[in-house]
Amino acid sequence: MTTLLEQKIGQLMLVGFSGTNADDLIENIKKYNFGNIILFTRNIKSASQVQDMCNEIQQAAIKYNGTPCFIALDQEGGSVRRIYDEITNTPGAMAIAAASAKYPQAAAIIGSILGAELKALGINLNLAPVVDINSNPLNPIIAIRSFGDDPYIVKKLATDFAKAQQHNGIMSCYKHFLGHGDVDIDSHIDLPRINKTIEELRRLELIPYNEIAADAIMTAHILFDKIDDKFPASISKTIIDGILRKELKYKGLVITDCFEMTGLIQTFSFEEAAVFAINAGTDIITVSHTFGRQLTVRNALLNAVNNGKISYEVLEKSLNRIAEFKKRYALKSPEQEIDFEKNRHLSEKISNASITLASGQPFEVDNGTVVIGVTNYVSSIAEDYNMEKMDIAKIIGEEFGIPYISIDNKNFNTSDMLAFAKDKKVILALSDSHLTLVQKVLYSSLRQTNHEIMLISLRTPYDILDQQKPACHICIYEYTSMSVKSLLKFLHGGKAEGRLPVNLGKYSEQYIRENTSKSIFLDNVIKYMKQNFGQKLTLDNVAEKFLITGGHLCKLFKRKLKKSFVDVLNEIRVGESKRLLNSTNLKVYEVAYLCGYTDSNYFVRLFKNYNGMTPNDYRKNYNLYD
């Protein structure tokens, strides 16, 4: 027979299950008192099926636990969503940020649409919005899920989004505390580390967490070495109890990211991680997939309370918080009429306004134009394998009646593409090419052969990092049917009204004023140089990007680094050239060009000055190529 303690422990868990039939889940609620459920696309056939399933789950929760459960999912919009049909498709965070230049209430509008429609289905917790500051373009997991790289804009849009959801009866959840925007490793795969002090985090990552609008926060499996060098944020008492609870005075729910992510379980067992998390101030532990692991965590918590490793005081604090927010969000609310046509119109209006002309002007698409484009693919584990199957080259080619070639994002022959595009204007649609060498080389090769390029960035705008600007650069922020429809409207003569949310260097005046005298500002300047080393960089044009004078920037380099701007730039470029020499079979002059040196002889002399050998000797000594 179920004990009261078992019911209480069940409230500390958010569990997933397989299939679209909830019978096995309901049996587990009966036996093990799991108190909260997370849905994925594997559980969803249609919106109407979700509604019926949520009703069954809630009936079982009330019957066996005496209280309703949180039913959660990740419906961020854009590329990360779990329900695709019979619900309004909404733009994601970066597209919302781009559109907010035209429609300042864009985040509130989308939050309101999601809140109303999810609530009508019986869902009461949306694990959104993402409040990570996408300060690292090499970030493989956040990227377009973020509102951008300006912390004050992120805070404003996240606040609008969260409050709108909550006004419609859906609990919002900020993620991923302390901040997932500056990692270069996906925590689904490995444990990221961020080597920032708490002072540095307060000046960037923690800004959206001042005056938190959401009633829940999801913690990240990231090791912040200078704050807690043993425990990742998701199980760190220093971070959750010390920073979030005490310093930021946060009184809402704390939910972990999924415990089954490799970033956590490669270091800690499920049993010990569960106990650490609750003692750190966490309220709900997420175990999204495997029943055996869910049972392991549940039993570990039960044993920990029984043997005193988790005190009743700690347990009751979490249970009281959970009960408070269940009264607010988990009880069934009166059904309301949803105007899906109005929601679709609003969503498309915001999508249209997100299309951004980053530079240049589009050329006329005529019989002298060809299209080369990357087909859609799962960009990260956060996305679903049943995402929309899109082929941008085919879509544009057939729309305008011009030749096209569709390419895989990583496997194609650049020579074939150059032959196809010979003597033609090129519409080139790439997807995070800054992370994919073969796409990067394709773009560079087309530039070197003097093609007129209209570049379409299908996901992040970072495709031109390390590269010279094309004749025209268009950003659409997500590879979805909605964003492609908006793109076609623009190509047929529509207006591009979006702004770049991650145009590095364009921070808010408040951020510039607070940080020019601090090391984080110079860190961002250097990061910008590392991301754009292949372009023509001068002291003055870099300073202009960061809204300060060249003289001021020169003094910062001398005072902080004891080096000149040119010294730092050459170190960055030569360092990158070594990586290319080690990892590719590009010719030396190609490496020089990619690293920002138009004179290959100068590059060879400079490389020898830094490394004591020529580029060819360097490559030969490492025996990477014959």
**Domain parsing of the chain, residue ranges:** 4-333, 356-475, 509-621
Provide mean pLDDT across the span 157-169: 97
**Cα within 13 Å of Cα(549), Cβ side:** 3
With a cut of 60, say whether residue 614 has pLDDT above it. Answer: yes
What pLDDT is recorded for position 249? 96
Residue 460 and residue 303: Cα distance in Å, rounded? 46
| CATH topology (fold) of 356-475 | Rossmann fold (3.40.50)
Over 80: is that where the pLDDT of 503 sits? no
581: tokens are 């020499």
Contact present, 108 and 164 (Cβ < 8 Å): yes
State the average pLDDT over residues 479-507.
87
- Per-residue pLDDT reduced to its tens digit, 445-467: 998 888 899 999 999 999 887 67
Say what the pLDDT of residue 506 is. Answer: 41
User: How much of the chain is in helix, strand and coil states, percent to nearest 5?
Assistant: 45, 10, 40
Selected residue with higher pLDDT from 279 and 532: 279
Tokens of 363: 């050329």
Q: What percent of the chain has a predicted confidence (pLDDT) above 70?
A: 93
Omega cis (within 30) before 178 = yes
Could you tell me which of 92, 40, 32 has the C-alpha nearest to residue 71? 40
Mean pLDDT of the chain: 90
Q: Tell me how far apart the terminal alpha carbons of the chain are, to the nearest angstrom.
A: 71
Please state the rounded mean pLDDT for residues 45-57.
Answer: 93
In this predicted structure, what is the pLDDT of residue 515?
Answer: 52
3-state secondary structure 77-116: ECCECCCCCCCCCCCCHHHHHHHCCCCCCHHHHHHHHHHH
In this predicted structure, the answer to whether residue 622 has a pLDDT above a threshold of 80 is no
Give the mean model confidence (pLDDT) for residues 247-259.
Answer: 96
Q: What predicted TM-score, i.e. pTM, was given to this entire model?
A: 0.81
Mean pLDDT for the stretch of residues 134-162: 91
Section 127-146 average pLDDT: 89
Q: What is the CA radius of gyration of the chain?
A: 26
Model confidence at 264: pLDDT above 70: yes
Give the 3-state secondary structure of residue 249. coil
Question: Average pLDDT, stretch 114-129?
Answer: 96
* CA dist., res. 142 & res. 342, Å (int): 30
pLDDT for 47: 87
Distance, in Å, from the CA atom of 214 to the CA atom of 89, rounded to the nearest integer, reads 22
Output the CA–CA distances (angstroms, integers) from residue 583 to 162, 419, 554, in the order listed.
44, 25, 33
The model's confidence at residue 191, banded by pLDDT at 50, 70 and 90, is confident
Q: How far apart are CA 455 and CA 441, in angstroms?
A: 14
Say whether pLDDT at 509 is over 70: no
Q: Which has the higher per-residue pLDDT, 301 or 600?
A: 301
Largest CA distance in the chain: 81
Quickly state the pLDDT bin for 236 (edges 50, 70, 90): very high
pLDDT-derived band of residue 505, with 50, 70 and 90 as boundaries? Answer: very low
Mean pLDDT calculated for residue range 311-324: 97
Contact between residue 388 and residue 375 where contact means Cβ atoms under 8 Å apart:
no
Q: How confident is the model at residue 327 (pLDDT cuts 50, 70, 90)?
A: very high
The dihedral over CA atoms of 480, 485, 489, 491, expressed in degrees to the nearest 10, equals 60
DSSP state of 372: E
- Percentage of residues in the chain with pLDDT exceeding 90? 70
The pLDDT, as a whole number, for residue 386 is: 57
Q: pLDDT digits over 70-104, tens only? A: 999 999 999 898 988 889 999 999 999 999 999 99
- Identify the pLDDT of residue 625: 36
- Given a contact cutoff of 8 angstroms between Cβ atoms, the answer to whether 526 and 519 are in contact is no
pLDDT at 507: 42
Confidence of residue 518 (pLDDT cuts 50, 70, 90): low
Residue 377 pLDDT grade (very low, low, confident, very high; cuts 50, 70, 90): confident
**Overall fold of domain 509-621:** Arc Repressor Mutant, subunit A (1.10.10)
The pLDDT, as a whole number, for residue 227 is 95
Mind listing the pLDDT tens digit for each residue in 536-590?
A: 899 888 887 776 777 778 888 888 888 999 999 999 999 999 988 988 888 999 8
Highest CATH level, class, for 4-333: alpha beta
Token pair of 63 as six digits:
């019957």
